[in-house]
Amino acid sequence: MNGPQDVGGMMGFGPVVPEPEAVRFHADWEKRVLAVTLAASAAGVWTIDAMRFSRESLPPAEYYGSSYYQIWLKALTNRLIAEGLVTPEEIATGTPMEPAKPVPRVLRADRVGPALAAGTRYAREPDAAARFAVGDAVRARVINPPTHTRLPRYVRGKVGVVERVQGVFVLPDTNAHDLGETPQWLFTVRFSGTELWGPQADPTLDVSVDAWESYLDPVD
């Protein structure tokens, strides 16, 4: 989706100002948003890619006018309503009005630590050889799907070089929309700054992007 989240290489947004690595939150409510989002996602009603699609589906003005965790909260609210887990009236009043809808699982307090430590495994066993190898020149396909994708706009149609073969992983494009995992080979592709942004770009700049096999075409 060419949503408001896909701003790589765009101008007019001002400088990127890194914060100290130790700064995780700016207010206590942000901690709660993170906790509730993780707990809700652990219920197994949607995938991580579906939640990403919920965030990037926010209207651009709303997205750009929101802080990081405000975006998370708005996306979670929309997803909970869409899945029938809460109603808009319950959100507005903060009071349950309907019987709770069953979910596949519940993340109990004593399981939070082990669950976070274990993470979620998205690697899968290959059923075919990789189409590309390290050193191969590839061109990122020009796609503009209305659904979720992890291929940034600024690399589409550009030529890069495979610098690492990562393995086989779940394809976000289908996983976000209940269309199956569709595992594919994943490659790290290096693009030069001048390839991406023309001769005026910093000639010492390289950008590496992780790209699934269906995002790429070979370059002779």
Inter-residue contact 170 to 124 (CB < 8 Å): yes
**Domain assignments of the chain as residue spans, ordered by start:** 28-118, 123-218
Report pTM: 0.92
Inter-residue contact 44 to 82 (CB < 8 Å): no
**What's the pLDDT score for residue 68?**
96
- Looking at residue 219, what DSSP letter applies? -
**What's the pLDDT score for residue 9?**
86
**What's the pLDDT score for residue 185?**
98
CA distances from 27 to 37, 62, 74, 135 (A): 16, 20, 17, 46
Q: Hey, do 28-118 and 123-218 end up sharing a CATH topology, with the first three levels equal? A: no
DSSP string, 61-112: HHHHTS-HHHHHHHHHHHHHHHTTSS-HHHHHHTS--SPPPP-S----GGGH
Bridge partners (DSSP) listed for residue 212: 186
Bridge partners (DSSP) listed for residue 184: 169
Q: Per CATH, the architecture of 28-118 is what?
A: Orthogonal Bundle (1.10)
CATH, domain 123-218, list 3.40.50.12780, 2.30.30.50, 3.90.190.20, 3.40.630.10: 2.30.30.50
**What's the pLDDT score for residue 16?**
87
Per-residue confidence in pLDDT tens, the chain, 220 aa: 999 999 998 999 998 889 999 999 999 999 999 999 999 999 999 999 999 999 999 999 999 999 999 999 999 999 999 999 999 999 999 999 999 999 999 999 999 999 999 999 999 999 999 999 999 999 999 999 999 999 999 999 999 999 999 999 999 999 999 999 999 999 999 999 999 999 999 999 999 999 999 999 999 8
DSSP string, 13-53: S----PPPTT---SSHHHHHHHHHHHHHHTTSSS-HHHHHH
Inter-residue contact 169 to 45 (CB < 8 Å): no
Phi-psi region of 68 (alpha: psi -120 to 50; beta: other; left: phi over 0): alpha
**What's the pLDDT score for residue 20?**
94
